[in-house]
Chains A and B, each alone.
Chain A
Amino acid sequence: MTQGVGVAGIYVRDQDEALAFYVEKLGFEVHTDAKNGDYRWLTVQYPGQDGFQLGLFRPQAPLVDDATIEAFNQSIAKGAMPPLVLVVDDCRAAYDRFNAQGVEFTQEPVARFGSVDASFRDPSGNGWKLIQAR
């Protein structure tokens, strides 16, 4: 793939915590982890999905001002950030695997609309839908 979305990021409250969650619990792999002073460009990839990186970023100065940082941190913690969808071959198997890792599920797998879906949150509060590929 040469064209298309390469990186899309989410905001997290703590990048170390997010890294541990996405890599150790969900099985993502680190793509780039580059620090420059206080700034850290951190992206992960779903195994086998080479064309796309998920950025795990922190709202931070000097890119945004303090009041905006505070507003983002509140929005993240309230679960008010945009929807995220993780597609898997087998939702129940992924649920069992993630649940055993201590992932915070907000909805157990439900079969409907010709698929199976569940919901979980990352430690920051970002909500993921876990959907079985049709």
Chain B
Amino acid sequence: MVGNKPERAGQDPQLLRRLLRAKDRMDAASHEEWPVDQLASVSGVSEAHFARSFKEAFGVPPHRYLLTRRIEKATALLRDTDLTITDIAFQTGWSSLGTFGRIFRDITGKAPGEFRADDQAARHELELVPHCFVSAARRPDLKIAVSEKRRQESGDNGDGSNQQEIP
């Protein structure tokens, strides 16, 4: 929050509680598509209002949040199971293996196979922590759009020509 405006202290807690419900739904089924109208109706707000309110509440737009949950889940599956990368891509909500691999690499800095090999080589002493908290702590912190992150890393100054399809 910028400044100190006593007349408007920020978002109404009742609205926030309902926005949390939409976030919880995405958490419970991050492999699903979650169109904005569906999320908006969970929160009892208009579509136009939803994305802006969600971002104000949780710091990221709803579909970028969904992306972080998918990557979090994919990293957990890479770490904890022997599922193939193809299976993991489809289980976590991607319809294309190529898109999954590319976005995974953009976000984590590693290809899925590389991530798996590195993580299994360095086992952590986290058995005593309930797994969802470990998983959440390792959730990618996406403060900028994936397309922006990719552009920054490639040194591209960004004409916006390649940023369709990515939240």
Contacts and interface: CB of A to CB of B under 8 A. Distances in A.
A129 interface: yes
A79 B14 contact: no
A106 B27 contact: yes
Task: Decide if the interface of chain B is mainly helix, strand, loop or mixed.
Answer: helix
Given A67-B6, A76-B13, A77-B13, 15 more contacts: A13-B13, A70-B9, A73-B13, A77-B17, A77-B20, A78-B57, A79-B20, A79-B24, A83-B130, A85-B130, A104-B21, A117-B132, A121-B20, A125-B17, A129-B130
A124 to B, nearest CB: 8
Contacts of A76: 13
Nearest to B57: A78
Contact of A74 (B13, B24, B133): B13
A74 B16 contact: yes
B160 interface: no
Contacts of B130: 83, 85, 117, 129, 131
B121 interface: no
A69 to B, nearest CB: 9
A77 B132 contact: no
A90 to B, nearest CB: 18
B28 interface: yes
A106 B131 contact: no
B131 A112 contact: yes
A74 B132 contact: no
Task: Decide if the interface of chain A is mainly helix, strand, loop or mixed.
Answer: mixed
Contacts of B27: 106-107
Contacts of A112: 131
Interface in B124-155: 130-133
B9 A77 contact: no
Given A76-B13, A78-B58, A83 B20 contact: no
Interface in B1-54: 4, 6, 9-11, 13-14, 16-17, 19-21, 23-24, 27-28
A113 B28 contact: no
A92 B163 CA distance: 45
Contacts of A73: 13
Given A77-B20, A79-B23, A106-B27, A113 B131 contact: yes
| A-B residue pairs, 8 tightest by C-beta | A77-B16, A77-B13, A77-B17, A106-B24, A70-B9, A73-B13, A79-B20, A78-B16
9 contacts: A73-B13, A74-B11, A77-B13, A77-B14, A78-B19, A79-B23, A106-B27, A113-B131, A125-B17
A43 interface: no
B28 A67 contact: no
Contacts of A78: 16, 19-20, 57-58
B13 A107 contact: no
